[in-house]
């Protein structure tokens, strides 16, 4: 039978330093799988951008100095892989911002998840969309129905604002040993012991905290 030592090494972060590529991969995977926008990994993005620029310069130098084309092409591959992760990470976030435009500007908590550039993007998108709705439809409706955020003046909540569906089920893996509450406060107190490597399909809401603190990964 296969031994556990060849079960796959790259998925578990080693106890020594984890490469930024591994961290970027984790951030990208989590962002793709999560129903809401996750907190922006500003430091990681800056570091990755720095390393990418450095390697781009190195590759130019290698080509000029006539370094073995094989070696150059391998460095290019590593660069391409890192760039793909970074770009896809940012793209997935932009799409989520477009999807939940008004929602991500509604509260300080939601806005704090965005980078400064994403905030600018979100505000411009929201302004453009609001203006478009007003000019094409809302101004022509009776007074009580002219809000972009609410169906009518008697709505208690912003019911025209799409929100992330946090009750969706996600696949995830535990990275350490901890106890997880399977339900929210006021419901059942059933808990589950999570051990490193355990796989679950589970309600996003109850693992949200564990993912943000790094105890679990979305897969």
Partner 1 sequence: VETEIYPMAGQTDPHVSLFSPEEVEFMAEDELVEIVPNMNMEPLNFIAGDFGRFIPQIPIQVPLWLAVALKRRGKCTFRPPGWLSVDNLTQVLEAEREPQSKFQALPFSYVEIARLLFDHARDDIPDMYMVRSLVEDIRDVRLHKLENNLGTFLGTSAVKMENVSAMEVNLVRPFARRALEAFYKHDKPEVVADRNTRSSRQPREANDEPRRPLRQR
Contact positions vs partner 1 (CB under 8 A): 1-4, 6-11, 19-22, 25, 29, 32-33, 35, 48, 51-52, 55, 70-71, 73-75, 77-79, 81-82, 84, 88, 91-92, 95-96, 99-100, 151, 155-165, 167-169, 171, 182-183, 188, 190, 192, 198-203, 206, 219
d(CA 89, CA 81): 12
* Least Cβ distance, residue 156 to partner 1 (angstroms): 6
The bridge status of strand 191-194 relative to strand 216-218 is unpaired
Which class for 122: exposed (0-12), middle (13-18), buried (19 or more C-beta within 10 A)? buried
Q: Which is nearer to partner 1, 91 or 132 (CB)?
A: 91
Q: Which is nearer to partner 1, 120 or 157 (CB)?
A: 157
* Least Cβ distance, residue 51 to partner 1 (angstroms): 5
* Least Cβ distance, residue 60 to partner 1 (angstroms): 16
At 200, which helix (H) or strand (E)? Answer: strand 199-203
* Least Cβ distance, residue 137 to partner 1 (angstroms): 17
CB 105 within 8 A of CB 122: yes
Q: Which is nearer to partner 1, 25 or 175 (CB)?
A: 25
Q: Which is nearer to partner 1, 182 or 212 (CB)?
A: 182
CB 111 within 8 A of CB 105: yes
* Least Cβ distance, residue 179 to partner 1 (angstroms): 13
* Least Cβ distance, residue 129 to partner 1 (angstroms): 13
d(CA 148, CA 152): 9
Contacts (Cβ under 8 Å, ≥6 apart) of 177: 193, 194, 195, 196
- Here the tokens at position 73 are 């092409």
Q: Which is nearer to partner 1, 75 or 146 (CB)?
A: 75
Q: Which is nearer to partner 1, 2 or 15 (CB)?
A: 2
Query: The tokens 């051990």 sit on which residue?
Result: 195
CB 34 within 8 A of CB 211: yes
- Here the tokens at position 91 are 């793209």
């Amino acid at each position: 039978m296969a031994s556990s030592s060849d079960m796959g090494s790259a998925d578990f972060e080693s106890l020594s330093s984890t490469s930024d590529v591994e961290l970027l991969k984790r951030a990208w995977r989590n962002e793709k799988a999560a129903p809401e926008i996750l907190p922006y990994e500003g430091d990681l993005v800056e570091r990755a951008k720095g390393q990418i620029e450095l390697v781009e310069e190195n590759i130019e130098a290698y080509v000029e100095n006539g370094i073995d084309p094989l070696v150059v092409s391998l460095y290019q591959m590593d660069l391409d892989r890192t760039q793909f992760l970074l770009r896809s990470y940012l793209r997935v976030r932009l799409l989520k911002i477009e999807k939940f435009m008004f929602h991500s500007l509604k509260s300080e908590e939601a806005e704090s998840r965005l980078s400064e550039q994403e905030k600018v993007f979100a505000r411009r998108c929201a302004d453009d969309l609001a203006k478009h709705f007003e000019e094409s439809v809302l101004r022509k409706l009776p007074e009580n129905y002219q809000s972009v955020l609410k169906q009518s003046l008697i709505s208690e909540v912003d019911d025209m604002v799409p929100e992330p569906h946090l009750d969706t089920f996600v696949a995830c893996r535990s990275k350490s040993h901890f106890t997880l509450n399977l339900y929210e406060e006021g419901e059942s107190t059933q808990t589950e012991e999570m051990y490193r490597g355990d796989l679950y399909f589970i309600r996003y809401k109850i693992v949200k905290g564990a993912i943000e603190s790094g105890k679990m990964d979305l897969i």
